[in-house]
Every structure is written in structure tokens, then in C-alpha cells.
Amino acid sequence: MVERQVYNKGKLVVTRVGGEVKSQELIDHVFWLIDSHNIGEIQSDYDQVVYVKDVESMNLQKEDVQRITEISTGLGQSRGKFRTAIIAVEPTDLKLAYFYKSLVESSDLEVEVCSNFQKAFAWLGCENPEPDKYK
């Protein structure tokens, strides 16, 4: 399951990944980001926080992460230079987060792996839009 909230007039997206996580849901999320930018819901050069919570199962392979990266760095380039803070603490989440980060290093995308919301929002240089929710 992928849930997202848009804040700051489209300059910030906070995305929760949980439940039964399937690769197609994450690919669909990237296409949602592209489409939402194209219709003006998300602004160019936006920031994103991605976090994992209450995962029951994760069916995601390295090939899936590569596909997500190809879409983000190919079709998604029209969104401008955006930054993503990935909150990861579990070993599997960390492995995938650092793998994704390594794949985007040669693009205009900036990715940082953080251990909590405070560090994620600080790295992005923005206020936490819902401190009671994102703690």
C-alpha cells in the first residue's frame, strides 16, 4: 500500500509505504508523481519524504528498484530537480534505500537516507507539516 499527502501548495509530498508492498504499487506511485506534476498538483523542484510503516510483506527485488529509477530519471525528468528523503531503519529497507540512492547518483535527483522524520525534514530544509503525525 502506498499513501501520500501533498503539502505546501505542491512543494512537499510525504509518502507512506506499508501493508503488503508490491513493486507495481511503487511504480504506479512514480507515475502518479509524474502525472500530478503535469496537471500542477505537484510543483517543479518539489521535495518528498518516503517512509515505511506497518509492512506485512514486501515483494520488491533489485530489478524493481532499477525500473523505478529508470522511470524517475527518464520520464520523470520533466519534474525538475527534486529531492527525496527516505526514512529507513530496518536492514532490508536500508539496503533498498541505499541501492536506489546509488542508482540515481548520476542524475539530477538528490536522495538522502535518514533514520527519522526530524532528520528527513531537516535535510530537506522544510518544516514538518504535521508534527503529531510524522514523529
What are the boundaries of each domain within the chain? 2-124
- Sheet strands side by side (includes 12-22): 2-7, 12-22, 47-59, 83-87, 110-114
pTM to 2 decimal places:
0.87
Top-level class of domain 2-124: alpha beta
Write the CA distances from 82 to 13, 31, 49, 99, 129, integer angstroms.
11, 15, 11, 18, 18
DSSP secondary-structure letter at 65? H
Render pLDDT for 117-135 as a digit per residue (tens, 0 to 9): 999 999 999 999 999 999 9
Distance CA 39, CA 27 (A): 19
Q: Tell me, what's the pLDDT at 105?
A: 79
Distance CA 117, CA 123 (A): 10
Integer-rounded Cα radius of gyration of the chain: 14
Render pLDDT for 7-24 as a digit per residue (tens, 0 to 9): 999 999 999 998 888 889
